[in-house]
Amino acid sequence: MTWHPAALAQGHPGLALTFAELAARFPGEGWGTAAHRQIELAVEAVRSERRPDGSLFGGLPGVAFAAALVDADRYARLLGTLDRLLREHTERGIERLDRRERGSAERDFDVVSGLAGLGAYFLLRGDDAAVRRIVGRLVDLILAEGKVPNWYTPPELLDDLSAATYPHGRLNCGLAHGLPGPLALLALARVSGVEDESVVRAVQRASTWLVDQVVEDEWGVNWPYAVSIDGGESRPARAAWCYGAPGIARTLWLAGTAIGDSRIRDVAVAALEAVAARPASVREADAPTFCHGLAGLLHITLRTANDSGSGTLRAFADELLVSLLDAFEPDSIFGYRDLDPDGGAVDRPGLLQGAAGVVLVLLAAGSGVVHRWDRVFLVA
């Protein structure tokens, strides 16, 4: 079992989000008390760390995100302290990007570890100054001129496996670690009132770049995991939130909505409808969990079906819901188990790759109501 107490991904903050949602649906059953206890445990875990992590899914921003959603008034003092610390983290993140003379580290700008994730939190909090600070730096990242886009990651800034796969560096296409994270944040910020013309130009440029990377297969629109800087062939990605057509399509839907471009939204719907047409074996979304499995795919499909009115996507959402319910394992510890890369089942309670994320998606699918928790994934 993977467990990191202070992490939103696999720790107490993620459980707090799930218990808070259960409390909203089933009042008087003790879920609210359970949610508050998870916040207390998350804070204790952070205090025990010598140098708390500054990433949304791994550290302080995730604790703050959970506290803000569980009860912002009750945790006002805690949130005031965390907001101050996170503004400092933001400045350090911007400084890291500014120091790069050649390309950017994905962890500095993405949603999981970087500025896009911090922006998601400050957008939730309604901190206009912090949002504009982050948005401004991401706009600069996207609009910077050069032979290659400035979100290019050189091999020395990749892990060993990725550097071996992309020896000349890469341009990451995934929502979790690539360009779609900053793009989704810019789109959501614009809808929330950040109306600078530079934001529109950055949204247009990033959207155009993603559309230009489309690879067609026999079912339709798809994307690779990343684009190799040397022009080498890239294999199509799995169909998931983290990588592949679902996460990218949802980002393009948000982008098209933000700047009023129906063509971008049409690509988004076509991409998800192509996912629906592919056999499950081709999608490779075998795990039931959010990050790279059925729960994330279902949630994105539901969101986009409701927004677009696509009958194909509504039918696909019904199909995915049945598959997710069928994946329930009553004899397992948490009811749902994640799959490791080798295909082995593993018990995980957390939000990103565990049962807590599945529960949130099932609650949303069953009621049609989402109480802002999916902002953490930058899908709404």
Would residue 300 be called left, alpha or beta, if left means φ above 0 and alpha means ψ between -120 and 50 degrees? alpha
268, 210 contact by CB (below 8 A) = no
147, 85 contact by CB (below 8 A) = no
Q: At what angle do helices 180-191 and 115-125 cross, to 10 degrees?
A: 20
Residue 4 DSSP code: -
The pair phi, psi for residue 226, each rounded to 5°, is: -155, 165
CA 139, CA 182: separation in Å to the nearest integer?
9
CA 278, CA 296: separation in Å to the nearest integer?
17
Cα 218 to Cα 240, 260, 266, 279, 299: the distances in Å are: 19, 30, 19, 11, 25
Instruction: Read off the pLDDT of residues 149-187 as tens digits, 9 standing for 90 and up.
Output: 999 999 999 999 999 999 999 999 999 999 999 999 999
CA 127, CA 124: separation in Å to the nearest integer?
8
pTM of this structure: 0.97
Instruction: Read off the pLDDT of residues 293-311 as tens digits, 9 standing for 90 and up.
Output: 999 999 999 999 999 999 9
Cα 302 to Cα 60, 153, 320: the distances in Å are: 30, 33, 10
What pLDDT, on the 0 to 100 scale, is given for residue 119?
99
β-pair partners for 338: 346
Residues in the chain, how many? 380
Q: Is the dihedral of CA 279, 282, 287, 292 positive or negative?
A: negative
103, 154 contact by CB (below 8 A) = yes
Q: Is the dihedral of CA 132, 192, 364, 236 positive or negative?
A: negative
**Mean pLDDT within 208-233:** 92
Q: Does 231 score more than 80 pLDDT?
A: no
Q: Is 63 helix (H, G, I), strand (E, B) or coil?
A: helix
What pLDDT, on the 0 to 100 scale, is given for residue 298?
99
What pLDDT, on the 0 to 100 scale, is given for residue 233?
66
Q: Is 338 helix (H, G, I), strand (E, B) or coil?
A: strand
CA 167, CA 103: separation in Å to the nearest integer?
14
Q: What is the DSSP string of 280-329?
A: HHHH---SSSTTTSHHHHHHHHHHHHHHH--HHHHHHHHHHHHHHHHT--
Q: Does 371 score more than 70 pLDDT?
A: yes
